[in-house]
Every structure is written in C-alpha cells, then in structure tokens.
Chain A
Amino acid sequence: MSEKNGNPVERLNLEEFIPAKKVTPPKSLDELSPEEIERLREVGIDIKAEDKLGLFVQADCGVVSCSCVPKGIELLPITEALKKYDWLRENYFWKAVPPDKDEFTKITAEDLDNGYFIRVMPGEKVIYPLQTCLYIRTDKVAQRVHNIVIVEEGAELHIITGCTTNPHVTSGLHIGVSEFYVKKNARFSYTMIHEWGENVHVRPRTGIWVEEGGVMISNYISLDKVGSVQSYPTCRLKGKGAVGQFTSIIAAPEGAHLDLGSRVVLEAPETRAEIISRTVCYGGEVIARGHLIGKAQEIKAHLECQGLMLTDKGYILAIPELEAHVANVDMSHEAAVGKIAREEIEYLMARGLDEEEATSLVVRGFLNVRIEGLPEELQAKIDKTIEEARKGM
C-alpha cells in the first residue's frame, strides 16, 4: 500500500490520553447541556425528535441512551449483548476486523469501553434511520468503542451515526471498531457524520462482510475541523451479486490530517463495487485512498476520486488502486485534482453573486453527491447536515 511519509496521522502517543473509564459518564441525556444537545444536532442526531425510532448515545465510556421502538430490531450496548449471546462472540466479535490489526485494535480488544449491538431480524425492513452517536464529553479522553451490526437475510436497515465532541473539549482520541454483517439479500446503509474538534484524533477500524445479493452503502462526511482521522474500512463482497458502495465527502481545513479511503474485495462472481470520494482542501492534508480488489469472474468495480484545491496550503494525495486477480473483470478508476474553474465563478458573478458566494456555490455543488439507494428522508437529512456544516467552512 502506498504511503505518504511524514503524515502525522502515523504518529500518535497513546500515553497522552486518559482512558474513558477513569471519567464518570453522565447517567442520562438530561445531564447534557443545551449547548451539547445543539452540538449533537449538528451531526444529525436529534435527541428531541418525536419520530425517532431508535437512539443510541455513548458519552465517553457510558451508554446514556439505548432505546429502540420497532419490533424486529434489537439494540443493546455491546457489553450486554456479549453477555446475552454466546454466538455473538463466537461468530461475529473480532471476525471482520482482526484484534491484532494495529495498536488501536489491540488496546480496544484489551479493554473495551462500550459500543452498540444492532441486529435486524430476517425480512424486517426499517426505512427510517436509526441514530447512533459517539460523543467525547471530557477533555483528553481516549474512547474505545466496538460496534457490531447484523442485518439478517432479506432485512433492511439505515443508520445515521454522528460523532462529535463537547464544544469545550480541546483534545481526545476516538477508537471505533465496527463490524458489519450484511446477510443474503439484505440491505444496509450506514452514514457517518464526523464533527470532531481541532485536536481530536480519530481511528475508526471497520470491517464489512456482505453475503449473496446483499447491498452495503457507506457514506462518510467530514467537513469540519479535526486533528487527524485515519480510516480505511475494508469490505468483503463474499456472496454472488453482492454490492458495495462507498462515498466520502470531505473538507480539509488547515490543521486537519486526513488519511481516508475504502477498500473493497470482490471475492464472489458478479459482485459490484463503487468508491467515490470528493475532497475539498483549504489548507489541510488529505490522503484519499481507494483500493478495489477483483478476485472473481464477472465483477464490476469503479473508483472515482476528485479533489479541489482552494488554497496553496496543504495537499491532496489521491491514491486510487486497482488490483485484478482474474481475467474476466471490469475495473476502472478516474482521479482528478484541480482548482475551481475560473469560468464558472465568472459565470455566476454575471448573475449577481460576488466572488465568495460564487465560490461557495461551486464548492457546494462539487460536494453534492447523489447517493443511490437511500430513502428520501435520509438523503434530506444528509443534505441538511452538509448544508449546516458548510456554514462553518
């Protein structure tokens, strides 16, 4: 795998953080201040919403909300689920992500704070998105989270997950191990919105298995300030005709070190994968990766990586990788990094928009990726969240 030397993402001293368990977590959502509630709203988590179906909130090490309305779904803190179900540990826990993958998975395997377990029963279709929120509330805390989602045969699930910090937190570390299992003909969309603080470091470690005819849609949105994020979910399309679709919408302000990408292994015949990333760099450092591995007949995979440089500071390093192991594959990629077209800005200026308004509109358009296969409500929510986050850009 290609590397960029000297990216600070690679260096992080774990000793500098306080384990989340040493901090007393809030007992309920009532303890959150209006300022904190607003902060959660910005990442799409509306704890006051009347129509919410399920809500999981973990602040530091403590689960402060874990409720789920619809039948056919089970939502539990992972620590409880592991006690309740032996099969969970046996068949799913640390299966899609190896515990010895790196130092972050190792320390999470050693001592887990918490996380969520979500299971949708066969054939159940839950259209309205479940909300999950991982929240760093205390300064300098290191949060270790492990999530498992199982979407059983023929079921459908949509999750919107917002990750953020208390506005007063200046630094922190979030380690989030996620293992997603999408069973035969099941459909799972997972939309993650990050809005961390300036010195918060984030290490999601995600493994996804998709069985025959299953569909995995993953969306990642990070438009705000952050210290560093290193994320490289790996999705294995294990059954015939499985589909993986990964979209990242990223803005990198000054001070942000982002090493992001997705990897899809097309192991079964007729599987399809698409990785799309849109990056706007205004001073930050971005590595935009994408790796497609074709190992079976009649697979189709495409990677699209587009970057927009708004200033002379920072960089975008696009690393699209295609790896084919058999003859009968159809794999392609396109990568383009550039500046905003002057022509477009002037066109809009002739319509009465000043330079700033015109630039903002073009950037917004650039980041406006239509994600196939999402319910209307979720798309609307994503659009609204992007709009909200963009105000700060």
Chain B
Amino acid sequence: MAQKPMLEVKDLWVEVEGREVLKGVSLTIPVGETHILFGRNGSGKTSLLMTIMGFPQYQVRHGKIIFKGEDVTNLPPYERARRGIGIMFQRPPSIKGVKLRELLELCAKENGYRIQELAQEFGFEKFLDREVNLGFSGGELKKSELLQLLIQNPDLALIDEPESGVDVENIEVIGRMIRRLLEKETHRPRKKSGLIITHTGFILQYVPADRGYVMLDGKIYCQGNPQEIFEGIQKHGYEECLKCLKRMETQLNV
C-alpha cells in the first residue's frame, strides 16, 4: 500500500481581511521530502505557510489541507502543532518575562533533557535564560526559532525565509539546524518533511531539496527541480519566469 503523503493541499483559496491571498493552490509533499517555495514578496508564500499552520485570520474559502491523511482544514493551530506541524516564523514576537528555556520546556514532547544538549550544540545555551526573542538579532531570532522547532520535533516543518537578516557566519549554523530538523543526515527512509520559503536560495547550499515551486499572485505556476528553478530565477529574474510560465499556462489550460 502506498504511504499517505505528509501534506496535501488541495485547491486552496484563502482570504485575509477580505483580500484574496491564495487563489487555488495545490501541492503534495511526500513523507521525507523537502520542498521549496520561490516567489516575489507578496506572492502568497507566507500566506500559504500561515494557512497550513491554521492562523485564524487566514480564512479558507475553498479547498482542503490534509495532513497525514487527516483533514485539518478546520483545526486551530495548537491542534495542528500537536499532530506534528511546526512553523518557523520570519518575524517572531517576543514574550516578555518568559525565559526561552521555559518555552522550550513547554514545546518539548519528550523529556526536557535535550534542551541543554541541543542549545549547546548550536552555541545557543547562553540564550536559554533570556526572555523569548527579546532584543535578539536577526541570526539569534532564527536560532531561537529553530531551537524551538528542534525541541518540538514536528514531522512537517514550515520554514519562512531562514536566511533573511542573517550574517554569513550564522547561515552555516542555521543550515545545520535545518538539516537536523529535516533529518538530512539520516539515511532513508527519512520521516521528516519540510516546506521552505527562500528569497536568496542560499539555504539550498545547506539543505538538499526535492522539489521547487514558483508562486505568483497567490498561485503556484511552476514546479520542478528546485536547483534548476533557482538557477533560472537567478539568471533571468522573475520577469522571465513569468513569461515562461505564461507559455506553460496556455498548455496547462488545454
């Protein structure tokens, strides 16, 4: 029997405050695969991640989100989190008066013993007793997010622009954290899946991906080898991409 995919998004139409942000998005992420979302600012990439996580302001008008065979379209975020979906925010809020360690303890499915160990491994232990995200730099925010995800240990990780605002030195650490999160060091059968938004594509140097998508205006127009898509975008920009897709679209519509 074929294994159920980790995630199936079926013809998803989504509104935020009356504005359409997703216009019929479909994609399938098999177990163990990492997929990449490319696209300009405002193309709907973050909206797609937020909708998969279930934030209430992203109102699903049509379509379904199936996680491990279960329809989760109407579940609140914490139910989705408990079922194994995790998200790394691009701009997480800070929580005053709450230590990162405290939050990590609440995130931990297993015993808390891995908290110290993981924090140490990624050079973040001195932040455990700081207030969550308060006064963190760009790189520190990403590490804080990824540490939370590593402790939460989701089966599907949604990662929003892991390299934005991070200096070169820290990109390598962040890459390692994502590799760990998505079990890239593990031989197949790999159990973790990921959906990553990237602007610069840097993260592809650290995290091998299986599939890429280009989003434009709330729709996925193109999918294929992520490296090839990225190289195409780098060479020709999204303008050329758009032209190419236009040609494809006519074919697709047949």
Cβ contact of B97, chosen from A347, A348, A350, A366, cutoff 8 A: A366
A278: nearest chain-B partner, CB-CB: B97
Question: How would residues 324 to 364 of chain A score, 1 for a CB under 8 Å from any chain B CB and 0 otherwise?
Answer: 00000000000000000101101111111111011001101
CA distance A357 to B77 in the complex (A): 13
Q: Would A366 and B96 count as touching, CB distance under 8 A? A: yes
**B178 close to A (CB within 8 Å):** no
Q: Would B53 and A350 count as touching, CB distance under 8 A? A: yes
Number of interface residues, chain B, beta carbon within 8 A: 24
Q: Would A352 and B96 count as touching, CB distance under 8 A? A: no
CA distance A351 to B102 in the complex (A): 12
In the complex, which residues 185-228 of chain B have their Cβ closer than 8 Å to any Cβ of chain A?
none
In the complex, which residues 96-143 of chain B have their Cβ closer than 8 Å to any Cβ of chain A?
96-98, 102-103, 106-107, 131
- List 8 additional A-B contacts (Cβ < 8 Å) besides A346-B77, A350-B87, A364-B98: A346-B55, A351-B81, A352-B82, A352-B106, A353-B78, A358-B78, A364-B97, A369-B97
**A34 close to B (CB within 8 Å):** no
Q: Would B93 and A341 count as touching, CB distance under 8 A? A: yes
**A6 close to B (CB within 8 Å):** no
CA distance A280 to B77 in the complex (A): 26
CB of B25 to closest CB in A, whole Å: 20
CA distance A67 to B93 in the complex (A): 50
Across the interface, which residues of A come within 8 angstroms of B107, CB to CB? 351-352
A341: nearest chain-B partner, CB-CB: B93
**B34 close to A (CB within 8 Å):** no
**B73 close to A (CB within 8 Å):** no
Give the interface residue-count category, chain A.
20 to 34
Q: Would B97 and A368 count as touching, CB distance under 8 A? A: yes
Across the interface, which residues of B come within 8 angstroms of A358, CB to CB? 78
Q: Would A351 and B95 count as touching, CB distance under 8 A? A: no
**A149 close to B (CB within 8 Å):** no
Cβ contact of A353, chosen from B86, B93, B106, B131, cutoff 8 A: B106
Across the interface, which residues of B come within 8 angstroms of A348, CB to CB? 95, 103
**A73 close to B (CB within 8 Å):** no
Q: Would A344 and B78 count as touching, CB distance under 8 A? A: no
CA distance A353 to B152 in the complex (A): 11
Which 10 residue pairs spanning A and B have beta carbons closest together? A365-B97, A368-B97, A365-B98, A352-B81, A349-B77, A349-B78, A343-B93, A354-B78, A350-B77, A351-B107
Interface core residue of B56, B76, B81, B131 (most chain A CB under 10 Å): B81
In the complex, which residues 42-79 of chain B have their Cβ closer than 8 Å to any Cβ of chain A?
53, 55-56, 76-78
Across the interface, which residues of B come within 8 angstroms of A362, CB to CB? 95, 98
Across the interface, which residues of B come within 8 angstroms of A296, CB to CB? none
Across the interface, which residues of A come within 8 angstroms of B93, CB to CB? 341, 343-344, 347
Q: Would B77 and A365 count as touching, CB distance under 8 A? A: no
Cβ contact of B152, chosen from A346, A351, A355, cutoff 8 A: A351
Q: Would A361 and B98 count as touching, CB distance under 8 A? A: yes
CA distance A344 to B97 in the complex (A): 13
Q: Would A361 and B77 count as touching, CB distance under 8 A? A: no
CA distance A362 to B148 in the complex (A): 17
CA distance A354 to B80 in the complex (A): 11
**A223 close to B (CB within 8 Å):** no
**A250 close to B (CB within 8 Å):** no
